[in-house]
Amino acid sequence: MTPMRIILAGQPNVGKSSLINAMSNSRLKVGNFSGVTVEKTEICFEHHCHLIEMIDLPGTYSINGFSQEEKVARDYLLNENYDVIINVIDSTHITRNLLLTLELLNLNKKMVLALNMHDEALKEGILIDAFQIEAITGIPTIAVSANTNEGIDDLLDTVHHLYDEEKRVKSNITYSDVIENALFDVTSFIENKNYKFEDLSPREMAIKLLIEDEKFFKVIHDKPIFMELQPLLVKSMNKIYAYYETKDIIDIQAQEYHSIARGIRAETVTRSDKKQPKSFTKRIDNILINKFAGIPIFLFFMWGLFQLTFELGAIPMDYIDASFAWLGDAVGQSISHEGLRSLIVDGIIAGLGAVVLFLPNIIILYIGIALLETTGYMSRVAFLLDGFFHKFGLHGKSFIPLVTGFGCSVPAYMATRTLKNEKDRLITLFIIGFMSCGAKLPVYVLFAGAFFSPEQAGNVLFYIYIAGALLGLVMAKVLRLTVFKGDDEPFVMEMPKYRMPTLKLIYMIVSQKAWSYLKKAGTFILAATILIWFASNYPKSNSDSQLVQLENSYLGQIGKASEPFFAPLGFDWKLSVALETGLAAKEVVVATLGILYNVGDDVTEDSDKLLSAIKTEIPFASAISFIVFVMIYLPCFAASMVFAKEAGGYKYLGYLFVFTTTVAWIMSYIAYNITLLLT
């Protein structure tokens, strides 16, 4: 069965991802800040015996936009094959949204207008005549709400009907007199010549010629008709230039589209006579983005999140730890071969247990970030911190990828596509690693739990994350003054309305992240754990001492070779190896420590848990130094590859490696020596 290929196109924050979720029950991430969908996302599902392939394009204000995400949308719209466009519009901001609609109409594709957030418009007293919009534009128009599922079936039925129709609907849009006169002249000429091209009408061909559609010009330029057509085009365009006092066709288009959009709104949108109270969004904004209280409130939210991450996350940890210990004992008793038992119990079970142990902390952190995204608060904080960020040579929009970096560096790197200025984007890319991702959280929780009381540990996590973020800002200033000199752009960003996320939405976002974490533990980290176990057990030593065996193993040899580089930071060869394996994935740091520090002559049966082993064998100053190094150095392999792609080449990855390693070594050295002095 050939799938029906549908694309969702619209401006940022119109609820495209929510709508595709409502139509397909898919597990797509939904956010309320500009650029949440930084790549096209595909989902397949069946509806009324049709197989539908739906592509959610990045939010774009214009097909002529210049940001990375707008280019992704434009390239797909202009160059890919698809059957129907669903143009998603925010019903509460219809004038602005129609500007993209008018551009999409010139693609001459089958299209449906989905007036999303219809329920919110009604609450604000906004009444929209969808039938009148359809009459004016000629495009089927459906009022929908992704939150309440209103109109979802009607929308899908309309899409099916359009798909089955052989002919597409023609646009009814009328332009200003000067444009219409030019269109009449060019259309009449094409009709008289009886020129045909694909399924375009003479008027549609005339529009493409007047807006200087590059693709169509390449086709018609080599045709005999163009010799006669050219003088007419020149004459028509000169009249348009004289009327608008500019020869910039993009500017002329913009003026036309603004006039048409305002006209459509005047004809189709009314407000109820009932006086509307001050909106909920404005009332909340008076508090949350207050110039005095806003930043303290944000810091309080972050502090509360890290308190919950440690306090609530610690509750199931003992049960998970005990479960893996029981599993290890049970499996170990059934295996007689010593080498195989060691691989499964000490390698696989112990390594995976050390990673899965921190799943509750990861889930709580992701819930916090999901709430930031889905409520619309994140864009407010970006606005709030813009002035502060500019002092460090960053753009206010940099906040979004930086906060996303607290969850995972991969989407954070991709989110930098919202930044149009190349230098702003590169600086942001280089400092995202200073925002501790979720994979580093297990390392922090492990060391905070080992060296601090439960009452202090939550504060310690908060201090670590804030310290990393502040250091990142300082490094951004250094990069702006040295490598990426130049002025940053002014801050322009849309403020979406506050929206209450549903439990289903939060569950989908968090469960997807948690499942991804577990899949990583069961595949990539499992393979790394087996490799680390092998490297720590071979070649076999003649000594009966486990510590001697470790030191003479392949892993020990690697650690000993790199120990001189890390020795000034207070690291022994075990900590050195843990950092090196962390280049593959930061979760592997904990798995490595679990293997290395849960064996050894000094670890008795009474202190066999990793927390006890860490506290027993690692000096406090070395632990602080280790945390600082983990906080700064190169991200995992997957994130590094995405960084290279987004930055523009592997040479930038080399620069990032040198940059982060140097800063990590210097800051760890300072932290180690200051801690020694204080303790």
| Mean pLDDT, rounded, for 79-86 | 90
Joined together, the tokens standing for residue 278 give 């001050």
pTM of the model: 0.64
What residues contact residue 51 under an 8 Å CB cut-off, 6+ apart?
A: 1, 2, 3, 4, 44, 45
Of the two residues 583 and 26, the one the predictor is more confident about is: 583
- Average pLDDT of the chain to the nearest whole number: 83
Q: Among 219-228, 343-352, 669-678, which stretch is predicted with the lowest mean pLDDT?
A: 343-352
Does 171 have pLDDT greater than 90? no
Cα separation of 522 and 526, whole Å? 5
Joined together, the tokens standing for residue 220 give 């018609």
In SS3 terms, 562-590 reads as: HHHHHHHHCCCHHHHHHHHHCCCCCHHHH
What residues contact residue 215 under an 8 Å CB cut-off, 6+ apart?
A: 78
Does 658 have pLDDT greater than 60? yes
* For the chain, percent of residues with pLDDT exceeding 70: 89
Does 404 have pLDDT greater than 70? yes
Does 418 have pLDDT greater than 90? no
pLDDT digits (tens, 9 = 90+) for 420-476: 778 888 999 999 999 998 889 889 988 998 888 888 888 898 899 999 999 999 999
User: Residue 112's beta-bridge partner residues?
Assistant: 86
Joined together, the tokens standing for residue 483 give 């490598």
Task: Tally Cβ neighbours within 10 Å of residue 282.
Answer: 11
Q: State residue 600's pLDDT score.
A: 38
Cα separation of 216 and 117, whole Å? 36
Q: Among 13-17, 458-462, 560-564, which stretch is predicted with the lowest mean pLDDT?
A: 13-17
Instruction: Name the residue type at position 381.
Output: V
pLDDT confidence band for 672 (50 / 70 / 90): very high
| Mean pLDDT, rounded, for 234-256 | 89
* For the chain, percent of residues with pLDDT exceeding 90: 23
Q: State residue 143's pLDDT score.
A: 94
| Mean pLDDT, rounded, for 370-387 | 80
pLDDT digits (tens, 9 = 90+) for 603-635: 333 334 677 888 888 999 999 999 999 999 998
Q: State residue 38's pLDDT score.
A: 42
Q: State residue 599's pLDDT score.
A: 47
Joined together, the tokens standing for residue 401 give 């990828």
Cα separation of 596 and 581, whole Å? 12
Query: Three-class SS of residue 169?
Result: coil
Of the two residues 413 and 158, the one the predictor is more confident about is: 158
Judge whether 96 and 122 are in contact, CB under 8 Å.
Answer: no
Q: State residue 671's pLDDT score.
A: 96
Q: State residue 29's pLDDT score.
A: 47
For 106, phi and psi rounded to 5 degrees? -75, -5
Joined together, the tokens standing for residue 571 give 């690291």
Does 240 have pLDDT greater than 50? yes
pLDDT digits (tens, 9 = 90+) for 304-363: 887 888 788 778 877 887 888 888 888 888 888 887 887 888 778 876 776 787 788 878
Cα separation of 558 and 596, whole Å? 13
Of the two residues 140 and 306, the one the predictor is more confident about is: 140
Judge whether 9 and 1 are in contact, CB under 8 Å.
Answer: no
Q: State residue 165's pLDDT score.
A: 86
| Mean pLDDT, rounded, for 126-145 | 92
pLDDT digits (tens, 9 = 90+) for 66-76: 666 777 788 88
What residues contact residue 567 under an 8 Å CB cut-off, 6+ apart?
A: none
Q: State residue 36's pLDDT score.
A: 41
| Mean pLDDT, rounded, for 226-251 | 89
| Mean pLDDT, rounded, for 380-384 | 80
